[in-house]
Amino acid sequence: MAATKTSSAALEELGLPTDRLPRHVAVIMDGNGRWAQARRLPRAEGHRRGVKSVRAVIEACVELGTVDQLTLYCLSSENWKRPRRELEMLMRLLEQYVIEERSEIMRQDLQFTMIGRTEGLTENVLREVDQTVACSRDNKGMRLCLAVNYGSRGELVDTVQDIAREVASGTLDPNTIDEDTISSRLYTAGMSDPDLLIRTAGEMRVSNFLLWQISYSEIWVTSKCWPEFRRNDLFDAFRDFASRERRFGGLDK
């Protein structure tokens, strides 16, 4: 990550009041392979170029100083259907990213975390992720959350099983189960729900991503593939978000 501007300069560039900006931004980073294939490049090159977009978006959010959390959908539980060579490359790329960006995560005062199931992830990835989570635990800045081997239906299954075990053991009264009971047992427990969900590559679906958490999120889709996505695109999404009226089922005042 490069050195960032002051938040006041970035906010002036964006031209929006802080109370109209999203606090939690979630991104479905789609189109790496398609971007590469359209340029007759290996799919792996699309994933490598996508890391530059990750850096650009993180830097822009840090510059603004208004984003509390950025959640990036890196690898879905369905992605294990992809060719073995591509999956091995993704594991190496993730390990490399966590190692190379650790010093920047600390410099930017980011809180690093990961959600998803650990099954299938390499020991090297898990070791490096655990180290970065531990060393950034006391940071006070934006939370950077990577969703890896994540699937929202699987998350809900795990949550239901946890609740069922508590009921069976007598530590939880089933009559007291409410939305807070479920939210507090999701992988995202303690995190706010996303205000804005961004999806690249023009796909009009949420792909099993944060199904519970995005119930009232604003959705913004761009036809650009993820390796093309940069700061200006993020700011376009924020401007569109700021133009919307969020009523959460109520009426305009």
Encode pLDDT of 80-108 as tens digits.
888 888 899 999 999 999 999 999 999 99
In a domain, 50, yes or no: yes
In a domain, 37, yes or no: yes
φ and ψ at 82, to 5 degrees? Answer: -75, 165
139 catalytic residue (yes or no): no
In a domain, 102, yes or no: yes
Q: Look at residue 247 in the predicted model and tell me its pLDDT.
A: 73
117-168: pLDDT as tens digits:
999 999 999 999 999 999 999 999 999 999 999 999 999 999 999 999 999 9
Task: Point out the catalytic residue in the list 30, 32, 195, 233.
Answer: 30
- What is the chain's mean pLDDT, rounded? 94
> 3 pLDDT band (50/70/90 cuts)?
very low
In a domain, 84, yes or no: yes
Helix (H, G, I), strand (E, B) or coil at 161: helix
Query: Alpha carbon of 180 to those of 13, 176, 183, 186, 192: distances in Å?
Result: 38, 10, 5, 10, 12
Number of independent structural domains in the chain: 1
In a domain, 6, yes or no: no
Domain extent for 72: 23-240
In a domain, 245, yes or no: no
In a domain, 34, yes or no: yes
**Of 122 and 1, which is predicted with more confidence?**
122
Residues 6+ apart with CB under 8 A from 157: none
233 catalytic residue (yes or no): no
In a domain, 16, yes or no: no
Task: Point out the catalytic residue in the list 68, 79, 158, 208.
Answer: 79
Find the Cα–Cα–Cα–Cα dihedral 59, 24, 111, 163, rounded to 10°.
-150
Query: Which of the listed ranges 3-7, 42-46, 75-79, 200-204 does the model predict with the highest average pLDDT?
Result: 200-204
The enclosing domain of 174 has a CATH number of: 3.40.1180.10
